[in-house]
Amino acid sequence: MDFRLTAEQELFKQTVREFAEKHIAPRAREIDQKGAGIPDEIIRGMADLGIFGVTVPEEYGGAGVPGEELVYGMLVVHEIARAELSMSLPVYLLLVLGWAHLIAKHGTPELKREVLPRVAKGEWFLGIATTEPSGGSDLANIRTQGKRAGDTYILNGEKIYISGVNEAKQRGGGHVTLFKTAPELGNQGMTFAYVPLASPGITTAKLGMMGRNGLSTGIITYENVAVPAKYVLASENRGFYAAMEGFNAARVLVCAACTGGAERALELSSEYVKQRKLFNTPLAKFEGISFEIAEDYAQLEMIKTQILKTAWMIDRERAQPGSFARSEINANVAICKLIAPPLGVAITQHAMMYHGAMGYTTETPLEMLLRGLLSYVVGAEGGLNVMKIIIAREFIGDVAIPYK
Ligand SMILES: Cc1cc2nc3c(=O)[nH]c(=O)nc-3n(C[C@H](O)[C@H](O)[C@H](O)COP(=O)(O)OP(=O)(O)OC[C@H]3O[C@@H](n4cnc5c(N)ncnc54)[C@H](O)[C@@H]3O)c2cc1C
């Protein structure tokens, strides 16, 4: 057993940190305020470092280290999130890395050749479209249908709260999308496929969001959209399970984004309470403050270890199938997603409190970070109660599932 990163992982992490501190951190506020998306030069710089290719195999133009893809993904998302505190760029990155990771495993060779090299070069965006107006937590009841017609599926339906609708339109790429192909079979009648956003029959609309303003979120409507069968992941009617596998990787990366932001907030707290003097005393000397920072630091270190372990489990399972039961991975991922986003929010709120009124202004990046992190508390990549259901099922057993 070894809890240390390898020398290569450490070096990569350090390189990404230096790039992010120099080229990304100074532009976080601009990314949040302008709503004009992520600046091209930032995407290009990240692509030059190989960041978009860490979950893509070398034969498809990536830099993925076999058996370490998700650990590398987690490291880069954490580093980018430390720098880009609006959370727009970390979310952009984690979506691309997470869903490329699934395509690399379950995509057809044609799909991999078409999408992965462009994703690894930073050219295309890749996202996920499962949520519908009928409820994101209850995926078995989605309405979007894909009727088979020869070697295509004709898609009709609507997805909502989908990240990256504008980015996929402007940069190219699309979303891996869940739809019903045999509605009478419930979970076992769903198919998961890559759908280019430029497909004829797709319309989009942007929604106004509280945070993450450098990344669009919106609605995708499908009207008789022809999706070639070569874009299907896994196989017809196995889509629900492929999507769940993808969510595991994506959720680990979400949590890395939360810990990256929280770590920076904690550093800002520590710097501020050392220099802010009240009653002729630095705030850091008051235990009401230093103890809370100590508790936050302790909890952050614990969840970082849990996230690293979970990324390692997923990597190990891919390299050596059968290493872990699927339910064990599901539960470990759910533990990460249950704890990391609310902890990130709590640490950020504490940081705002230490800064007093200044913490409420746009002079610090804290309010922007709070808005970004809250997306993962309200539901993005899975509601917190859904995580509790997954953990309860693992620990108590199927009797803990509140529905059939
Ligand atoms: C900023 C943002 C970006 C997003 N991006 C995407 C995206 O790119 N692609 C995509 O597909 N979706 C996206 N989503 C949607 C996200 O996946 C959903 O918000 C999530 O799945 C929850 O679905 P819902 O919002 O419809 O809430 P609901 O499913 O209606 O749930 C409402 C609340 O009920 C709780 N709940 C659910 N079931 C139970 C239960 N059995 N017992 C107790 N409580 C329960 C949930 O935890 C939640 O708090 C995004 C959301 C946000 C906020």
Q: How far is CA 231 from CA 56, 67, 109, 257, 300, in A?
A: 17, 25, 10, 29, 39
Residue 399 has pLDDT above 90, yes or no: no
CA of 381 to the centre of ligand 1 (A): 7
- pTM passes above 0.85: yes
Q: Residue 154 — very low, low, confident or very high, per pLDDT cuts 50/70/90? A: very high
Residue 222 has pLDDT above 60, yes or no: yes
What's the pLDDT score for residue 135? 85
CATH H superfamily, domain 127-231 = Butyryl-CoA Dehydrogenase, subunit A, domain 2 (2.40.110.10)
Helices marked H in 1-160? 7-19, 28-34, 40-48, 69-83, 88-106, 109-120
Instruction: State if residue 397 touches ligand 1 by the CB under 6 angstroms criterion.
Output: no
pLDDT tens by residue, 85-141: 999 999 999 999 999 999 999 999 999 999 999 999 999 999 999 999 998 899 989
CA of 383 to the centre of ligand 1 (A): 5
Instruction: State if residue 382 touches ligand 1 by the CB under 6 angstroms criterion.
Output: yes
- Look at ligand 1, atom 7, and give the residue with the nearest C-alpha: 162
- Both tokens of residue 88? 């727009």
The answer to whether the CB of 272 falls within 8 A of the CB of 293 is: no
What's the pLDDT score for residue 140? 87
CA of 320 to the centre of ligand 1 (A): 32
AA letter at 335 = I
Q: Measured from the CA of 212, which atom of ligand 1 is nearest?
A: 1
Q: Residue 82 — very low, low, confident or very high, per pLDDT cuts 50/70/90? A: very high
Instruction: State if residue 375 touches ligand 1 by the CB under 6 angstroms criterion.
Output: yes
Residue 3 has pLDDT above 90, yes or no: no
Residues 6+ apart with CB under 8 A from 69: 54, 55, 101, 104, 315, 318
The Cα–Cα gap between 158 and 179 comes to 10
Share of the chain above pLDDT 70, in %: 100
Q: Residue 37 — very low, low, confident or very high, per pLDDT cuts 50/70/90? A: confident
Residue 402 has pLDDT above 80, yes or no: no
Instruction: State if residue 400 touches ligand 1 by the CB under 6 angstroms criterion.
Output: no
- Look at ligand 1, atom 33, and give the residue with the nearest C-alpha: 383
pLDDT tens by residue, 290-325: 999 999 999 999 999 999 999 999 999 999 999 999
pLDDT mean over 379-394: 94
Instruction: State if residue 137 touches ligand 1 by the CB under 6 angstroms criterion.
Output: yes
Burial of 156 (0-12, 13-18, 19+ CB in 10 A): middle
pLDDT mean over 222-229: 98
Q: Measured from the CA of 134, which atom of ligand 1 is nearest?
A: 26
Q: Residue 17 — very low, low, confident or very high, per pLDDT cuts 50/70/90? A: very high
What's the pLDDT score for residue 403? 66
pLDDT mean over 58-68: 95
What's the pLDDT score for residue 401? 76
The answer to whether the CB of 63 falls within 8 A of the CB of 100 is: no
- State the Cα angle at 220 between 219 and 226, rounded to 5°: 175
Question: Given phi > 0 = left and psi -120 to 50 = alpha, else beta, which region is 379?
Answer: left
Instruction: State if residue 213 touches ligand 1 by the CB under 6 angstroms criterion.
Output: no
Residues 6+ apart with CB under 8 A from 113: 60
Instruction: State if residue 161 touches ligand 1 by the CB under 6 angstroms criterion.
Output: yes
- Dihedral sign of CA atoms 163, 167, 171, 177 in order: positive
Answer yes or no: CATH 1.10.540.10 is held by domain 7-126: yes
- Look at ligand 1, atom 21, and give the residue with the nearest C-alpha: 136
Q: Measured from the CA of 135, which atom of ligand 1 is nearest?
A: 26
Q: Where are the domains of the chain?
A: 7-126, 127-231, 239-400
| The CATH number, out of the four listed (3.40.50.300, 1.20.140.10, 1.10.1040.10, 3.90.1170.50), of the domain defined by the range 239-400 | 1.20.140.10
